[in-house]
């Protein structure tokens, strides 16, 4: 290969490595601009579009966490867990629902992004590793994150499905989370905010689920389904599940989140829109689906 071709390829690889962080920074900057225009929408009747834009720029002040996020992703070569198309699925929903209550299972390199794509909303992260929580919050103390403990292990996945079908406290019409020690799939001992908040969006990208002793995402998937079915407010609950290429994630999604509620699939991400149980027929013999 000629020298100039080698140099060109190196530049291409470098550009590709930086594409994702820069794109995320653009996402966040775009969200800031959208928020600013929403704040000045009331002026549109009396003012020209040009004047409205001027007011938006003059009156809007980016928050510290938004500015921190833009700098972080613009200067980082670390790629988030999800790719551009997968992130866009959730972003499209956030553009319509934000500000909202957004629950994220997992704390990682994309946490600043999710917080900033939900401006003025309530975004909470749940993470299994206390040391990792401390490490992330040291650099980004504005994030709202909790260290949590799971009662399951990935190697128990098949047994947990059998257990759910024979344990009344796991049945769709009777399932609850806080203090439900009998149902091994119910998330218990979590922060009060987890139980007391009605979540509009739930992202499941944790806990770990790639070795036998890992907690697996069985309980997170089950509990997301329970919270969505118990929703009292209007509308559906949007649930996003990552890593559906893995057997356990796929099997539990089909059991609890339901194929009939799957509205979009992109890469390793599935997007479900789950209605409250009050809007559906209740039959425990049919399970959650």
Span 105-138, pLDDT tens digits: 999 989 999 999 999 999 999 999 999 999 999 9
Q: For position 54, what pLDDT does the model report?
A: 40
For residues 194 and 115, give the distance between their C-alpha atoms in angstroms, rounded to a whole number. Answer: 17
Overall pTM surpassing 0.85 (yes/no) = no
Whether residue 155 is predicted with pLDDT greater than 90 in this model: the reply is yes
Shared domain check, 218 and 108: yes
3-state secondary structure of 120: coil
CA atoms in the 13 A half-sphere facing the CB of 109: 17
Whether residue 29 is predicted with pLDDT greater than 90 in this model: the reply is no
CB 266 within 8 A of CB 242: no
288 falls within a domain: no
What are 163's two structure tokens? 């257990």
5 falls within a domain: no
Q: For position 39, what pLDDT does the model report?
A: 42
Shared domain check, 134 and 44: no
41 falls within a domain: yes
Shared domain check, 36 and 99: no
- Please tell me the total number of residues recorded for the chain in this structure: 289
Span 244-285, pLDDT tens digits: 999 999 999 999 999 999 999 999 999 999 999 987 766 676
Question: Which residue is associated with the tokens 């966040």?
Answer: 28
Rg (CA), the chain: 21
Q: What CATH code is carried by the domain that includes residue 160?
A: 3.40.50.150
For 209-214, what is the mean pLDDT?
97
Shared domain check, 124 and 70: yes
CA distances from residue 74 to 2, 78, 104, 173 in whole angstroms, order as listed:
32, 10, 23, 47
CA atoms in the 13 A half-sphere facing the CB of 262: 17
For residues 195 and 223, give the distance between their C-alpha atoms in angstroms, rounded to a whole number. Answer: 10
Task: Tell which wins on pLDDT, 1 or 169.
Answer: 169
Number of domains in the chain: 2
199 falls within a domain: yes
End residue of a domain, out of 61, 76, 96: 61
285 falls within a domain: no
Q: What angle do CA 115, 234, 270 make, to 5 degrees?
A: 55
Q: How confident is the model at residue 75 (pLDDT cuts 50, 70, 90)?
A: low
Shared domain check, 89 and 57: no
What are 197's two structure tokens? 């908040």
Whether residue 77 is predicted with pLDDT greater than 80 in this model: the reply is no
Note down the domain range covering 23. Answer: 18-61
27 falls within a domain: yes
Shared domain check, 29 and 159: no
For 169-173, what is the mean pLDDT?
95
3 falls within a domain: no
């Amino acid at each position: 290969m000629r020298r100039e071709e080698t140099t060109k390829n190196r530049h291409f690889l470098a550009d590709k490595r930086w594409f994702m962080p820069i794109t995320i920074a653009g996402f966040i900057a775009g969200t800031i601009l959208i928020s600013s225009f929403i704040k000045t929408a009331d002026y549109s009747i009396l003012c020209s579009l040009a004047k409205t834009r001027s007011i938006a720029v003059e009156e809007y002040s980016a928050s510290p966490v938004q500015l921190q996020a833009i700098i972080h992703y613009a200067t980082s070569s670390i790629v988030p867990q999800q790719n551009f198309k997968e992130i866009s699925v959730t972003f499209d929903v956030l553009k319509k629902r934000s500000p909202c209550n957004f629950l994220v299972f997992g704390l990682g390199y994309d946490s600043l992004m999710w917080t900033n794509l939900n401006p003025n909303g309530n975004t909470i992260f749940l993470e299994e590793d206390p040391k990792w929580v401390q490490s992330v919050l040291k650099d980004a103390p504005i994030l709202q994150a909790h260290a949590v403990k799971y009662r399951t292990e990935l190697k128990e996945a098949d047994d947990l499905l059998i257990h759910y079908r024979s344990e009344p406290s796991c049945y769709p019409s009777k399932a609850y989370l806080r203090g439900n020690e009998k149902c091994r799939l119910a998330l218990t001992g979590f922060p009060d905010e987890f139980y007391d908040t009605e979540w509009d969006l739930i992202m499941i990208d944790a806990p770990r689920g790639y070795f036998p002793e890992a907690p697996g995402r069985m309980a997170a998937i089950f509990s997301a389904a329970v919270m969505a079915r118990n929703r009292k407010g209007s509308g559906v609950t949007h649930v996003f599940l990552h890593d559906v290429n893995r057997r356990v994630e796929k099997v539990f999604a089909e059991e609890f989140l339901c194929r009939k509620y799957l509205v979009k699939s992109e890469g390793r991400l599935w997007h479900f829109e789950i209605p409250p149980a009050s809007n559906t027929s209740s039959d425990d013999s049919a399970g959650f689906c």
